Amino acid sequence: MDFVISVIHPVADFAEATAFLCDTLGFQCQQATAEAVIVDNGSLAVRLVPAKDAVQSSLHLELHSQNLALTTDALLSLPNVSLITRDITISPQRLESRIQGPQGIVIIVAQAFNEDELEIMPPLPMSLLWDDDAEQCVKQMLRLTPLGFREAARTRITEQAEMLAGEEAAITVTIANAVRALAEVTPAFQHPALVSALQQHGIEPAPHFNGMAQ
């Protein structure tokens, strides 16, 4: 069975609400009667029903954007749309604007920023002590990994480096442990890029690869 989230939203004007949801926000009308209109976008279904005594509720919808200013301005150019708040920093990773649409529909336009855009290097999930050069090396080399795979790579490389240190009965991860872990976890086809990046950071990788494909 397939399930979607469904919400009920009382409105005074079916046509205006339906037009905004479908024409502006990409919903599709699935059913329309005198008693209700149902629209959905594949993950959320909205059932529009008559507002009793002309009292409307608020329907908050979140719209993700790669360009907050552009999306906000585009929405504000539409009729019956007004600004509630603009460019509010929710966290260093998230910026929001809130738009009041017709028939009680509120659009939260959100832009998320990744670690590369913020120029930050998240901490490693360390359970041992690390030499500073080892920690910084792994953080820098992780930038070679696509964002979608980076968190998993961060965990695997950290765990592998600490395992290598443990095999030496050490409680501190050294640069040798870090580079060897990078070599072992990084797919072979990415070794040339890794070797080049290590050399650019003043590290000679060859001794740490021990005959592995480069």
Which residue in this structure is represented by tokens 């650019």? 200
* Per-residue confidence (pLDDT) for residue 4, from 0 to 100: 75
Q: Are residues 102 and 181 in the same domain?
A: no
**What does DSSP say about strands 105-112 and 28-32: parallel, antiparallel, or unpaired?**
unpaired
3 state DSSP class of 144:
helix
Q: Are residues 102 and 150 in the same domain?
A: no
Q: Are residues 84 and 169 in the same domain?
A: no
Report yes or no on whether pTM surpasses 0.85: no
In a domain, 121, yes or no: no
Domain shared by 105 and 140, yes or no: no
Residues 107 and 18 in one domain: yes
CATH number of the domain that residue 53 is part of: 3.10.180.10
Helix (H) or strand (E) holding 89: strand 82-91
Summarize the confidence of residues 13-30 as an average pLDDT. Answer: 95
Asked if residue 100 and residue 185 are part of one domain, the reply reads: no
pLDDT reported for residue 29: 95
Number of domains the chain is built from: 2
15 and 101 belong to one structural domain? yes
- In whole angstroms, what is the distance from residue 46 CA to residue 41 CA? 9
Computed over every residue of the chain, the mean pLDDT equals: 92
Q: Which domain holds residue 185?
A: 129-209
Between 127 and 214, the higher pLDDT residue: 127
94 confidence band (pLDDT: 50, 70, 90): very high
Tell me whether residue 119 is in a domain: no
Mean pLDDT of 61-71: 95
Alpha carbon distance 116, 118 (integer Å): 5
Q: Is residue 77 part of a domain?
A: yes
Q: How confident is residue 209, by pLDDT bands cut at 50, 70 and 90?
A: confident
The pLDDT of 166-185, averaged and rounded, is: 94
3-class DSSP assignment, residue 210:
coil
Note whether 172 and 92 are same-domain residues. Answer: no
Type and span of the H or E element at 182: helix 175-185
Task: Answer yes or no: is 120 within a domain.
Answer: no
Residue carrying the six token digits 């968190």? 151
Residues 22 and 105 in one domain: yes
- Residue 3: the pLDDT is 74
Residues 15 and 102 in one domain: yes
Under 8 Å between Cβ of 39 and 31: no
